C-alpha cells in the first residue's frame, strides 16, 4: 500500500518554507576536517527569501516531482528507493531517507518546490531546500524531529547520503532562523546560540548592508574541496586564515550585541581578505572589480556570500552611502540590488 495509513490523504495539502541566510562571519570553519580538528564558529542571519515546498498526498502509486520555475516534472512509480540521478536530486534524497528511517514503505505524493534565489547564488539555497522538503515530510507524517534533529538529518542527507561537499551552517540556519552564533565542536556536536540583538540594531544593519547579485553563479563544491585539501595537506597559510575567520565570528557577535554597527564594515573587510587565503577560486577579476567599486563609492567592507566564486555579494555602507554604492554598481555592472529584511523565524510548516 503506497498511501500512509496513519493519515487522511483526501484533499490534504502540506506546505513548508525555510529562510535563506547571509553568512556574516566565520565562513568555512564549519567544514570538515577543519571543524573536526580545531572546532569552528559561524555567525549568520536569515533573511526574507525562502525555499518553499508543497506536498499533496496521492493514492495512485505514483511520485511526482515538480518545479514550476524550471518547467520540469518527473513521474516515478512509488518504490522504497529512488535513483538520485538526474533532476530533483535533493527531493529524492530526502524521500529515500524518510522511507529508510521512518515509514519503511513507499509513499505516493506530488511534491512542488520553489526557491526565491537561483542555485549557486551563495545564500545556502540547496541546504535550505533540503530543510524545507524534510520539514514538509515531518509535518505530513508527524515525524518526531526537534530542531536539532531535523537540521542534523538534513545535513546527513546532503553531505553523507548524496555526497555533496559543504559545511554544516546552512541546515541549522534554515531550521532555527534569526541571528545565530554557531559553534561546531571537535566531537561533531553543533551548538546554536541565538543572539538577542536589539531591533533597532537589526534595522540599522539591514539598511546599511547592501545585497548585490552579480548575475553569476558558483560551484561551491570545487572551492570547498580546495579548503578541505589545504587542511589535509597542513597548509599553514590556509589553516591560519581559517583561525582568523573563527575569530572574526567572535568580533562580529560582540559588535552586534553592543550595537557597534559601523564596526561591521571593517570586520567584513578583514574576513574577506582572510577568506581568499583559504583556497583558490574564492574571488576573480570581476568580483575584485565589484568589491573595489563598492569601496570607492563609500562601502567600508563586504564579502561574497557563501563559498565564493560568484553569486551574491554584500557590502556594509555606513550613513547614507548605500545609495552611492548602489548607483556605482548599477552603472558599471549588469547585476542588481536585492531588497530583503532579517527574519526571526526558521522553518515553518502547516497543513490544509
Report, as residue numbers or ranges, the catalytic residues.
170
What is the helix (H) or strand (E) element at residue 171, kind and residue range?
A: helix 169-176
Alpha carbon 153 to chain centroid, angstroms: 15
Residues with Cβ within 8 Å of 187's Cβ and at least 6 positions away in sequence, in order, are none
DSSP string for 243-284? HHHHHHHHHHHHHHHHT-GGGHHHHHHHHHHHHTTSSTTS--
Nearest to 121 by CA among 335, 323, 284: 335
> Which residues, including other chains, have CB under 8 Å from residue 269's CB and lie 6 or more apart?
300, 301, 302
**C-alpha span between 128 and 327 (Å, rounded):** 31
E strand residue ranges, the chain: 14-25, 40-57, 62-67, 72-77, 109-115, 179-184, 190-194, 209-213, 301-304, 312-316, 336-337, 348-351
| Interacting residues of 144 by C-beta distance below 8 A, sequence separation 6+ | none
Nearest to 51 by CA among 121, 117, 106: 117
Question: And the C-alpha cell for 6?
Answer: 496513519
Reading phi first (left if > 0) and then psi (alpha if -120 to 50, else beta), residue 309 is in: left
β-strand partners of 114: 52
Determine contact, residues 171/130, Cβ cutoff 8 Å. Answer: yes
89 sits in which H/E element: helix 89-98
What is the H or E stretch that residue 200 is in?
helix 199-208
Q: Which residues pair with 50 in a beta bridge?
A: 19
Amino acid at each position: 500500500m503506497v498511501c500512509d495509513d496513519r493519515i487522511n490523504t483526501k484533499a490534504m495539502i502540506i506546505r513548508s518554507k525555510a529562510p535563506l541566510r547571509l553568512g556574516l562571519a566565520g565562513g568555512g570553519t564549519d567544514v570538515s576536517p577543519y571543524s573536526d580538528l580545531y572546532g569552528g564558529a559561524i555567525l549568520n542571519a536569515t533573511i526574507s527569501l525562502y525555499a518553499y515546498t508543497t506536498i499533496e498526498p496521492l493514492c495512485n502509486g505514483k511520485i511526482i516531482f515538480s518545479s514550476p520555475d524550471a518547467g520540469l516534472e518527473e513521474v516515478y512509480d512509488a518504490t522504497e528507493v529512488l535513483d538520485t540521478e538526474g533532476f530533483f536530486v535533493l527531493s529524492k534524497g530526502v524521500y529515500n531517507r524518510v522511507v529508510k528511517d521512518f515509514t519503511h514503505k513507499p509513499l505516493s505524493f506530488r511534491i512542488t518546490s520553489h526557491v526565491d534565489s537561483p542555485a549557486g547564488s551563495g545564500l545556502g539555497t540547496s541546504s535550505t531546500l533540503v530543510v524545507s522538503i524534510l520539514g514538509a515530510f515531518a509535518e505530513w507524517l508527524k515525524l518526531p524531529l526537534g530542531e536539532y534533529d531535523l537540521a542534523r538529518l538534513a545535513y546527513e542527507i546532503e553531505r553523507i547520503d548524496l555526497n555533496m561537499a559543504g559545511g554544516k551552517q546552512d541546515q541549522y540556519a534554515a531550521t532555527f532562523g534569526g541571528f545565530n552564533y554557531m559553534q561546531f565542536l571537535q566531537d561533531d556536536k553543533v551548538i546554536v546560540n541565538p543572539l538577542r540583538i536589539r531591533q533597532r540594531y537589526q534595522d540599522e544593519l539591514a539598511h546599511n548592508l547592501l545585497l548585490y547579485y552579480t548575475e553569476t553563479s558558483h560551484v561551491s563544491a570545487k572551492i570547498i574541496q580546495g579548503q578541505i585539501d589545504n587542511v589535509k595537506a597542513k597548509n599553514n597559510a590556509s589553516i591560519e586564515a581559517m583561525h582568523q575567520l573563527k575569530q572574526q565570528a567572535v568580533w562580529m557577535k560582540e559588535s552586534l550585541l553592543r550595537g557597534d554597527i559601523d564596526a561591521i564594515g571593517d570586520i567584513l573587510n578583514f574576513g574577506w581578505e582572510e577568506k581568499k587565503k583559504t583556497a583558490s577560486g574564492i574571488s576573480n577579476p570581476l568580483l575584485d572589480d565589484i568589491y573595489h567599486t563598492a569601496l570607492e563609492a563609500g562601502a567600508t567592507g563586504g564579502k561574497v556570500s557563501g563559498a565564493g566564486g560568484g553569486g551574491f555579494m554584500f557590502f556594509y555602507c555606513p550613513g547614507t552611502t548605500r545609495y552611492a554604492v548602489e548607483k556605482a554598481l548599477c552603472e558599471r555592472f549588469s547585476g542588481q540590488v536585492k531588497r530583503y529584511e532579517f527574519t526571526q523565524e526558521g522553518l515553518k510548516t502547516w497543513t490544509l
